[in-house]
Structure 1
Amino acid sequence: MNKLALLAFSLLLIACSGNPPEDNSNDHFQADVIIYGGTSAGIAAAVQVKKMGKSVLVVSPDLHLGGLSSGGLGFTDTGDKSVIGGLARDFYRRIYDHYQQDSAWKWQSREEYGNKGQGTPAIDGAARTMWIFEPHAAEQVFEDFVSENSLEVYRDEWLDRESGVTKNEGKIIAIRTLSGKVFEGKMFIDATYEGDLMAAAGVSYHIGREANDVYDETWNGVQVGVYQHRHYFRDSISAYKVPGDPSSGLLPEISSNPPGENGTGDDRLQAYNYRMCLSRHPDNRVPFEKPVGYDSSRYELLARVYAAGWDETFEKYDPIPNLKTDTNNHGPFSTDYIGKNYDYPEASYEERKAILEEHILYQKGLMYFLANDPRVPAEVRNEMAQWGLAKDEFVDNGNWPHQIYVREARRMIGDYVMTEHEVLGDREVPNPVGMGSYSLDSHNAQRFVTAAGNVQNEGDIGVHPKNPYSISYGTLLPKKEECQNLLVPVCVSSSHTAFGSIRMEPVFMILGQSAAAAASLSIDENVAVQDLDYTMLREVLLNEKQVMELEGRL
Structure 2
Amino acid sequence: MKRRDFFTKTAKSTLGLGLIPIIGSATNIEGSSSDFIYDDKIGGKRKRNTIHRHKDIKVDVAVIGGGIAGICAAVSAARNGVKVVLVQDRPVLGGNASSEIRVHLNGVTHLKDHMAERETGVVEELLLHNRFHNPQESYPVWDHILYDYVTSIPNLEVILNTSAIDVAMKKDKIKSVFCWQLTTETEITINAGIFIDCSGDGLVAASAGAKFRTGREASSEFNEKYAPKKADGWQMGATLLLSTKDMGKPMPFEAPNFTIPYDAERANKERKLKFFKDGFWWVEVGSEHDIIGEFEDNRKKLMGYAYGVWDYMKNSGKHPEVENYALDWVGSLPGKRESRRFIGDFILSEKDLTTYKHFDDAVAYGGWSLDEHNPGGIENIEERPSFFHERFKKVYEIPYRCLYSKNIPNLLFAGRNISQTHISLSSTRLMGTCSLMGQAVGTAAAMCINKGVEPRTIYKKYIHNLQEQLLRDDAYIPNRPAKDTNDLAPKANAIFASSTVSGNANLLVDGYSRDVKTDQGYDIHHWESDGQSAHVQLEWESLILLSKIEIKCDTNVHRNILMRKDSKNDTRFTNTVPVELLKSLDVEGRVNGKWVKLGGLDKNRKRLIKFNFDKIQTTAIRINVKETYGSKNVRLYEVRCYES
TM-score w.r.t. the length of structure 1 is 0.69
User: What is the CA–CA distance in structure 2 between the aligned matches of 1:41 and 1:326, rounded to whole Å?
Assistant: 24
For residues 521-551 of structure 1, what are the alpha-carbon distances to aligned partners after superposition, in whole Å with 9 as ceiling and x for unaligned? 0011111101111111112101111011146
User: By how many angstroms is 1:402 displaced?
Assistant: 5.2
Q: Verify: 1:462 aligned to 2:389, yes or no.
A: yes
User: What is the CA–CA distance in structure 1 between the aligned matches of 2:102 and 2:124, rounded to whole Å?
Assistant: 19
Corresponding residue of 1:165 = 167
1:8 aligns with one of 4, 13, 29? 4
Corresponding residue of 1:147 = 151
Q: Verify: 1:268 aligned to 2:296, yes or no.
A: no
Instruction: Report the CA distance shift for 1:191/1:278 in structure 2 as closer, same or farther (over 3 A).
Output: farther
Contact 2:364 2:477 in 1 (8 A): yes
Contact 2:238 2:336 in 1 (8 A): yes
Corresponding residue of 1:195 = 202
Corresponding residue of 1:82 = 117
Q: Which has the higher helix share?
A: 1
User: By how many angstroms is 1:59 displaced?
Assistant: 1.5
User: What is the CA–CA distance in structure 2 between the aligned matches of 1:74 and 1:344, rounded to whole Å?
Assistant: 27
User: What is the CA–CA distance in structure 2 between the aligned matches of 1:75 and 1:66, rounded to whole Å?
Assistant: 10
1:180 is paired with a residue whose SS is: strand
User: What is the CA–CA distance in structure 1 between the aligned matches of 2:122 and 2:437, rounded to whole Å?
Assistant: 10
Q: Verify: 1:138 aligned to 2:138, yes or no.
A: no
For residues 361-383 of structure 1, what are the alpha-carbon distances to aligned partners after superposition, in whole Å with 9 as ceiling and x for unaligned? 221232223212x3x51xx1x22
1:335 aligns with one of 283, 288, 292? 283
Q: Verify: 1:413 aligned to 2:343, yes or no.
A: yes
User: By how many angstroms is 1:478 displaced?
Assistant: 1.0
User: What is the CA–CA distance in structure 2 between the aligned matches of 1:289 and 1:45, rounded to whole Å?
Assistant: 45
Gaps of 5+ in 2: 9-52, 181-185, 481-511, 515-644
Q: What pairs with 1:21-170 in structure 2 (closer than 5 Å)?
A: 26-70=54-98, 71-74=101-104, 76-77=106-107, 78-79=109-110, 81-98=116-133, 101=135, 104=136, 134-149=138-153, 151-160=156-165, 164-170=166-172
User: What is the CA–CA distance in structure 2 between the aligned matches of 1:355 and 1:335, rounded to whole Å?
Assistant: 11
Corresponding residue of 1:520 = 446
Aligned length: 422
2:264 aligns with one of 292, 302, 306? 302
Q: What pairs with 1:89-488 in structure 2 (closer than 5 Å)?
A: 89-98=124-133, 101=135, 104=136, 134-149=138-153, 151-160=156-165, 164-178=166-180, 180-221=187-228, 263-280=229-246, 290-296=255-261, 299=262, 301-305=263-267, 313-317=272-276, 325-329=277-281, 334-337=282-285, 339=286, 341-347=287-293, 351-372=294-315, 374=316, 377=318, 380=319, 382-390=320-328, 399-401=329-331, 403-446=333-376, 455-456=382-383, 460-479=387-406, 482-488=407-413
User: What is the CA–CA distance in structure 1 between the aligned matches of 2:251 and 2:150, rounded to whole Å?
Assistant: 31
For residues 294-319 of structure 1, what are the alpha-carbon distances to aligned partners after superposition, in whole Å with 9 as ceiling and x for unaligned? 343xx2x314559xxx59744444xx
User: What is the CA–CA distance in structure 2 between the aligned matches of 1:157 and 1:525, rounded to whole Å?
Assistant: 30
Instruction: Report the CA distance shift for 1:442/1:64 in structure 2 as closer, same or farther (over 3 A).
Output: same
Instruction: Report the CA distance shift for 1:10/1:445 in structure 2 as closer, same or farther (over 3 A).
Output: closer
User: What is the CA–CA distance in structure 2 between the aligned matches of 1:176 and 1:287, rounded to whole Å?
Assistant: 49
User: By how many angstroms is 1:149 displaced?
Assistant: 1.8
User: What is the CA–CA distance in structure 2 between the aligned matches of 1:141 and 1:286, rounded to whole Å?
Assistant: 34
| One-letter code aligned to 2:429 | R
Contact 2:164 2:178 in 1 (8 A): yes
Contact 1:83 1:436 in 2 (8 A): no
1:547 is paired with a residue whose SS is: coil
Instruction: Report the CA distance shift for 1:60/1:75 in structure 2 as closer, same or farther (over 3 A).
Output: closer
Q: What pairs with 1:483-502 in structure 2 (closer than 5 Å)?
A: 483-490=408-415, 491-502=417-428
Gaps of 5+ in 1: 1-5, 13-24, 105-132, 222-262, 318-324, 391-398
Instruction: Report the CA distance shift for 1:98/1:476 in structure 2 as closer, same or farther (over 3 A).
Output: same
User: By how many angstroms is 1:176 displaced?
Assistant: 0.8
User: By how many angstroms is 1:183 displaced?
Assistant: 1.1
Contact 1:72 1:326 in 2 (8 A): no
For residues 295-348 of structure 1, what are the alpha-carbon distances to aligned partners after superposition, in whole Å with 9 as ceiling and x for unaligned? 43xx2x314559xxx59744444xxxxxxx54333xxxx5223x4x3445441x
User: What is the CA–CA distance in structure 2 between the aligned matches of 1:33 and 1:417, rounded to whole Å?
Assistant: 25
2:117 is paired with a residue whose SS is: helix
Instruction: Report the CA distance shift for 1:72/1:540 in structure 2 as closer, same or farther (over 3 A).
Output: same
1:82 is paired with a residue whose SS is: coil
Contact 1:425 1:467 in 2 (8 A): no
1:538 aligns with one of 456, 461, 467? 467
User: By how many angstroms is 1:158 displaced?
Assistant: 1.9
User: What is the CA–CA distance in structure 2 between the aligned matches of 1:66 and 1:289, rounded to whole Å?
Assistant: 33
Instruction: Report the CA distance shift for 1:313/1:42 in structure 2 as closer, same or farther (over 3 A).
Output: same
2:147 is paired with a residue whose SS is: helix
Tell me which of the two structures has the higher relative contact order, counting C-alpha pairs closer than 8 angstroms and 6 or more residues apart: 1
User: What is the CA–CA distance in structure 1 between the aligned matches of 2:377 and 2:198, rounded to whole Å?
Assistant: 31
User: What is the CA–CA distance in structure 2 between the aligned matches of 1:98 and 1:36, rounded to whole Å?
Assistant: 27
TM-align CA RMSD: 3.1
2:59 is paired with a residue whose SS is: strand
Contact 2:178 2:190 in 1 (8 A): yes
2:397 is paired with a residue whose SS is: strand
Instruction: Report the CA distance shift for 1:316/1:75 in structure 2 as closer, same or farther (over 3 A).
Output: farther
Identity across aligned pairs (percent)?
A: 22
| One-letter code aligned to 2:242 | M
User: What is the CA–CA distance in structure 1 between the aligned matches of 2:401 and 2:231, rounded to whole Å?
Assistant: 24
